[in-house]
Structure 1
Amino acid sequence: MTTMTKFKYSKRVPADGTDAVGAILKAAADPKIISFAGGLPAPELFPVKEMQAAVDKVFEEHGQEAMQYGAAKGVTALRELILQHVKEKEGVTGALDNVLVTTGSEQVLDLVGKAFVNPGDTVLVEQPTYLCALDVFKSYGAKFVGVAMDEQGMKMDALEDALKAHPETKLVYTVPNFQNPTGRTMAVDRRKKLAELAAKYDVYVLEDNPYGEIRFAGTHVPAVKSFDETGHVFYMSTFSKTLAPGFRLGWVVADEDVINKLTVLKQSADLHTDNLAQYAVVEFLDNNDLDAHVKEISDLYGKRKQLMADGLKKYFPAGVKYTNPEGGMFLWVEVPGVDDTVELFKECLKHNVAFVPGDPFFAGKPQPGAFRLNYSNAKEDQIKVGMKQLGEALQEAVNK
């Protein structure tokens, strides 16, 4: 159905109405294309039978509660398990009133943006950073300042320079573990410094940790939040990468006052997160070994990442740089001499292989020739063939 009506959208809706990333992913979904463009977990590792048993038991024991309206902060048993989990894994301590269960971690981004970002407020982000965070904060009128990174994550001297240059800064957003899109991990001394700078300059840090448990090399690093003594750091994570993205279960751990404000905003958005999914995860965690399941995921992703790294070394042009993640789902490639990464993407499609161009991950001027590769959702034979095809396409582009 079409009309002649000119709709008067709010300023939060992109003026041109385009979805560049959506268009890229749609092109990459062609069955002929080997796609390293998505950010999906490996579906063959979803614990389908175990979760089915958990859901059956929930209906037997908590059917009415699961189907009824629930508390906006989430099911108490799940919040207790989250508290226990973040204390054991990340060194983050708190009480029940410090935890809010959300509809995926994406909702945390939206709630924090709604709660703290006024039009014109400055948000500091890693350069590059998670593109959906940029979209969310932009919708609330944020101005962005990118902070330089190296292989040890966000550079703290650059962050402090940015804080001095922008005293109006409201929020610092970081993905410190196996960052999306680069796969980099922030060093422990920088995490301590980040918590110190947040207190010193009275800015909030939103620590986004969806990938931290998927580690296949190196040593675990405690959360930024574990070094927070003033309540300036908000810690967020999700079950999407360890259990089931379709359940849309995330959470945020923060000062009680912050949690209360976010809860009010959540109530006006969706009342509460899906009760059945919450009860099912509680039941699953009570009867299954999550650590063993996560190790299985990590082992598979580590194998796939190594295959991708081997292909990079074997097939890519000389001078190409790439990150070497110790976990997570992504690595980052930089091809010197390429001016238009989107055009490079189109050329690679002709070779039946796809990636996500780096442009949407930058708050400011994008870095030419940079792109993200995903290894978690590609089978081993696809990685071997796809990296060869991608290398051939890059060789042609560089030689033009």
Structure 2
Amino acid sequence: MSITLSTRLRDVRGSAIRDLLALTARPEVISLAGGLPGNELLPRERIAAALAAAVTEPAAVQYGETAGLRSLREVLAQHESRRLGRAVDPACVVVTSGSQQALDLVARALLDPGDPVVVEDPVYVGALQVFQAAGAQLNPVPVDADGMAVDVLADRLARGLRPRLVHTVSNFHNPRGATLSAPRRALLAELAERYGFLVVEDDPYGMLAFDGSPPAPVAAHGDRVVRLGSASKVLAPALRVGWLAGPAPLCAAVERLKQSTDLCTSSLTQLVTAELLADDAWFAAHLDQLRTALRERATALTGALATVFGDAATGSVPKGGMFCWLEFSDGTRPADLLPRALEHGVGFVPGTAFAVGQDLSAAARLCFASNPPGELHTAVERLGAAWRAGGT
């Protein structure tokens, strides 16, 4: 049957990461590909108890407010207030079905086809798909060890670039692993005020700083910022609870669009999320355990990479989050290495999947969060075997 699809789909790149999940789901493959928290790190018993309590409330199995349950919005506003160092009104918080929906709703609220948007290069693939679907004109800005090169952005703005919005994964960047430095955060907020664009501060990993203290958010430096957050990395992806906090007019527009998208996010999982995030003592202890486990996994991965690849490749040194960025200097192309790696029982994502304008053919993203240290050592040994099999 012939079906005519919308023109908006023509420029939307498929996600190589989602495609890889089918291959890496095979039991014999250790996956370093998807950005999945390890199953053993998810607080399943605490979630089960919260579910059992929530389901006794009639509201848990009913439709809810489009903007989110009041109890959860109040908890999220408190969390954002502590992060920003100023009060956040619950009315300026919208609960979404994961932070990916928040990003999509923001783009739909702000962008018309052809509008210029600044993205990081390498880019978070989910953001790339959202902006491509919106028909935006992409303007990539490179990312280095200190996050987005805001000085490069400033130069382009001075030469006439006028974006509607600038997207940044400010903490423990996906895929680069870098964190936007404090001076760059302040400059980005200043540029937003000067040139009138909105910063979309995508922050699903901010609570996963190994030392517990990421820099103050971009939103702490200015008002032209909308922050996106998620329970997926700190509680459980299946809850599908995300949120945005930002200017009131944008929240009102997003709420109107959400009405036409899904009516509301699950009341049941919102109640569970509200209970867990409001339990300050439990949540602080859980985060401490989670950070410790992720730090051990990051150390295991980077140590194994140094042992196996030596001077042939350089890995970033994670200070939080879930990802390590690996760059080969011996001519290896991870896109060519990947089929051999899968044959050897390990998967990863080539850097080309995240490229907008840069040549990232020598790079790869490795997730250390999904597997315990022993599995990570085995994964790197398999990756090394596949690398050696290619004649490098």
TM-score by length of 2: 0.94
Match 2:258 to one of 266, 285, 298: 266
State how far apart, in whole Å, the 2-side matches of 1:122 and 1:392 are: 44
* 8 A contact 1:237–1:252 mirrored in 2: yes
Does 2:51 correspond to 1:51? no
Does 2:133 correspond to 1:143? no
State how far apart, in whole Å, the 2-side matches of 1:16 and 1:144 are: 12
The aligned counterpart of 1:8 is 4
Matches within 5 A, 1:196-345: 196-217=190-211, 219-228=213-222, 231-287=223-279, 289-338=282-331, 340-345=333-338
Q: Percent of aligned positions with the same letter in both sequences?
A: 35
State how far apart, in whole Å, the 1-side matches of 2:293 and 2:245 are: 29
The aligned counterpart of 1:382 is 375
Does 2:16 correspond to 1:24? no
The aligned counterpart of 1:41 is 37
The aligned counterpart of 2:187 is 193
The aligned counterpart of 2:121 is 127
Residue aligned with 1:251, SS: strand
State how far apart, in whole Å, the 1-side matches of 2:272 and 2:227 are: 23
User: C-alpha displacement at 1:57, in angstroms?
Assistant: 1.9
State how far apart, in whole Å, the 1-side matches of 2:85 and 2:332 are: 44
State how far apart, in whole Å, the 1-side matches of 2:321 and 2:382 are: 24
Going from structure 1 to structure 2, the CA distance change for 1:276 and 1:383 (only over 3 Å counts) comes to same
User: C-alpha displacement at 1:350, in angstroms?
Assistant: 2.5
Matches within 5 A, 1:66-81: 66-81=60-75
State how far apart, in whole Å, the 2-side matches of 1:181 and 1:16 are: 19
Letter in 1 for 2:101: Q
* 8 A contact 2:107–2:134 mirrored in 1: yes
State how far apart, in whole Å, the 2-side matches of 1:90 and 1:394 are: 45
State how far apart, in whole Å, the 2-side matches of 1:23 and 1:104 are: 20
State how far apart, in whole Å, the 1-side matches of 2:81 and 2:363 are: 37
Letter in 1 for 2:290: I
* 8 A contact 2:335–2:361 mirrored in 1: no
State how far apart, in whole Å, the 1-side matches of 2:167 and 2:88 are: 21
State how far apart, in whole Å, the 1-side matches of 2:5 and 2:130 are: 16
State how far apart, in whole Å, the 1-side matches of 2:193 and 2:337 are: 43
Residue aligned with 1:269, SS: coil
Letter in 2 for 1:172: V
State how far apart, in whole Å, the 2-side matches of 1:112 and 1:35 are: 32
* 8 A contact 1:144–1:364 mirrored in 2: no
State how far apart, in whole Å, the 2-side matches of 1:15 and 1:109 are: 18
Residue aligned with 1:289, SS: helix
Q: 5+ unaligned residues in a row in structure 2: which ranges?
A: none
Going from structure 1 to structure 2, the CA distance change for 1:331 and 1:166 (only over 3 Å counts) comes to farther
TM-score by length of 1: 0.93
Letter in 1 for 2:154: E
User: C-alpha displacement at 1:241, in angstroms?
Assistant: 0.7
After superposition, the CA RMSD in angstroms is 1.9
Of 138-147 and 21-30, deviating more is 21-30
User: C-alpha displacement at 1:65, in angstroms?
Assistant: 1.4
State how far apart, in whole Å, the 2-side matches of 1:55 and 1:252 are: 24
The aligned counterpart of 2:148 is 154
State how far apart, in whole Å, the 1-side matches of 2:153 and 2:179 are: 16
Going from structure 1 to structure 2, the CA distance change for 1:201 and 1:186 (only over 3 Å counts) comes to same
Residue aligned with 2:71, SS: helix
User: C-alpha displacement at 1:59, in angstroms?
Assistant: 2.7
Letter in 1 for 2:251: I
CA offset digits 1:129-159 (Å, max 9, x no partner): 2111101110010121211222111112111
State how many pairs are aligned.
391
Does 2:352 correspond to 1:359? yes
Q: 5+ unaligned residues in a row in structure 1: which ranges?
A: none
